[in-house]
Amino acid sequence: MRSLRVFTYENIQTGGKEPAVHFIAGEVHLGKVVSSSGKVLGAREKEINIRGSRILIAAGGNGTANGTRLVLQEGQCRVEESDHFQIRQPGTGKVLFSARNPPVGIDRRIKRISSRHIVTNKLRSPVDEELRMAGEDISLRGNERIRMEAKRLNGSANRIGLKTTDDGSIRLSSRRVFVGSKWRSLPISSSPSLTASVEAFRVCLCQQRPKLFLVPGNRPCGAPSAICQ
């Protein structure tokens, strides 16, 4: 026990006494270390080196699958069983990195990014440069809303679907809006002559304000005044 010393010391932050184990030897070989205080400290003004083929630092769950783990193995550092983590500056507590909101900058030389799943709160291109999204099946989903702004917005696909919640809305704000193309135009409805199918609807526009509403396909545009107020 010459290389091991157990004692208590006074914590200057709390003012209480805490137990400590002091390893005097230059190297100590241990298979597992459990620290109830959550701290493993080295000697003052000296480095503490932890070596192993696989180093596992676990918090909660006693290192089981339910606990958060930091794994150091084969030159890689992995955080497992964690939905979010932060890197803070010692002393000030300033957040240097946040996994939930990571600041990722894309160099101008990178022209294409491929991924199956991208989670971000903003995606933009440099001024006067195009931003293109291409894929076999592209889905854009926002928990609150999806907002797109551009000098020109062009969407081309075999099928485009726009869905909202029951109380949601879709707004298109532009000087001109085109639906279709010069190769394939939309069929002209016969609803002005009131011969359209009763299973279809007519899209009408209020005169007092720019608001759309629907009426059955075989009826003229007419709505209660409360709708267009």
Amino acid letter for position 194: L
Q: Is the pLDDT at 137 greater than 80, yes or no?
A: yes
User: Is-contact 68 76, C-beta < 8 A?
Assistant: no
- What pLDDT, on a 0 to 100 scale, did the predictor assign at position 184? 57
Number of domains observed in the structure of the chain: 2
Q: Do the domain assignments include residue 48?
A: yes
- What pLDDT, on a 0 to 100 scale, did the predictor assign at position 28? 72
- What pLDDT, on a 0 to 100 scale, did the predictor assign at position 205? 84
Q: Do the domain assignments include residue 218?
A: yes
Between 80 and 2, residue with greater pLDDT:
80
At which of 33, 62, 83 does a domain end?
83
Do β-strands 86-88 and 201-205 pair in parallel, antiparallel, or remain unpaired? unpaired
Give dist(CA 132, CA 153) in Å, integer. 10
User: Is-contact 222 207, C-beta < 8 A?
Assistant: no
Percent of the chain with pLDDT over 90: 0
- 66 pLDDT band, cuts 50/70/90, is low
Q: Is the pLDDT at 212 greater than 80, yes or no?
A: yes
Q: Do the domain assignments include residue 73?
A: yes
Average pLDDT score over the chain: 77
Q: Do the domain assignments include residue 28?
A: yes
Token pair 């009763």: residue? 198
- Span 105-132, pLDDT tens digits: 777 777 788 888 777 777 777 788 888 8
What's the distance, Cα to Cα, between the start and end of the chain in Å? 88
- What pLDDT, on a 0 to 100 scale, did the predictor assign at position 64? 52
Q: Do the domain assignments include residue 97?
A: no
40 lies in which domain range? Answer: 4-83
Q: Is the pLDDT at 228 greater than 60, yes or no?
A: yes
At which of 47, 62, 83 does a domain end?
83
- Span 8-40, pLDDT tens digits: 777 777 778 877 777 777 677 777 777 766 677
Q: Do the domain assignments include residue 208?
A: yes
What is the per-residue DSSP string for 127-166?
TT-------SS-----SS------S------S-------T
- Span 35-61, pLDDT tens digits: 766 677 776 777 777 777 888 888 765
Give dist(CA 163, CA 188) in Å, integer. 24
Q: Would you state the structure tokens that stand for residue 139, as one six-digit string? A: 């889905």
Token pair 């894309």: residue? 106
- Of residues 54, 58, 52, the one with CA closest to residue 81: 58
